[in-house]
Amino acid sequence: MNVSKIFRQAAIGRYLSICVLLSVCLLTKAQDGSLTVIGNLKGVPAEMKMAELKSVFMAERQRWNDGTKVTIAMIKSTTPLGKIISQRIYSMSGDEVRGFWAGISFAGKFESPVTFNTVSELENFVSQNPGAIAILDKAPESPEVRTVLIDGKKAF
């Protein structure tokens, strides 16, 4: 075994350790309940009630007040954040949320949500689509999205 290979294996080990630590940190933070709702600057109101938020995510509302179509962006329910959101917003497991949206999509009455694997992709999508709304576990980094206050709070 040569030296470069030993160094490469050591680097991979380090990366994996960092990833595990980051995940644990994020999970710990999320479990702390710090979810943030972000929305596109167009259509999505700056403030909403929790019930209103839930109704949006339960596909009970199709248009914002200005008439912009509601577009739901979601982190996949199989991710830790997704599971938290499923629990907090839907009071369901991840599979149940998946089934719920599968049913909504099956009926085709409501525009299906767009799912992403990463928060950055999610934030990027919201910033680019009018009427798009999403739930993150952190404050948005992009200035092109707004943080929607839920019951007057940035995080809930």
Query: Looking at 26, 27, 104, 155, which residue binds another protein (CB under 8 A)?
Result: 104
Coil vs helix vs strand at 155: strand
Of 64 and 101, which has the nearer Cβ to another protein? 101
Shortest distance (Å) from residue 76 CB to another protein: 5
Query: Looking at 68, 112, 124, 147, which residue binds another protein (CB under 8 A)?
Result: 112
Query: Looking at 16, 19, 66, 103, which residue binds another protein (CB under 8 A)?
Result: 103
Is residue 87 close enough to count as binding another protein by CB under 8 A? no
DSSP string, 29-69: HHTTT--EEEEETTTS-SEE-HHHHHHHHTT---B-TTSPB
Query: Looking at 66, 95, 141, 151, which residue binds another protein (CB under 8 A)?
Result: 95
Q: How far is CA 97 from CA 1, 58, 87, 117, 123, in A?
A: 49, 10, 9, 16, 21
Query: Looking at 113, 131, 132, 136, which residue binds another protein (CB under 8 A)?
Result: 113
Residues binding another protein: number (CB under 8 A): 22
* Alpha-helical runs (H) found in the chain: 3-30, 50-57, 80-85, 94-107, 119-128
Interacting residues with another protein between 132 and 151 (CB under 8 A): none
Judge contact between 40 and 61, C-beta under 8 A.
Answer: no
Of 35 and 72, which has the nearer Cβ to another protein? 72
In the block, tokens 């689509």 appear at: 129
- Residues forming the site for another protein (CB under 8 A): 74, 76-78, 95-96, 98-108, 111-115
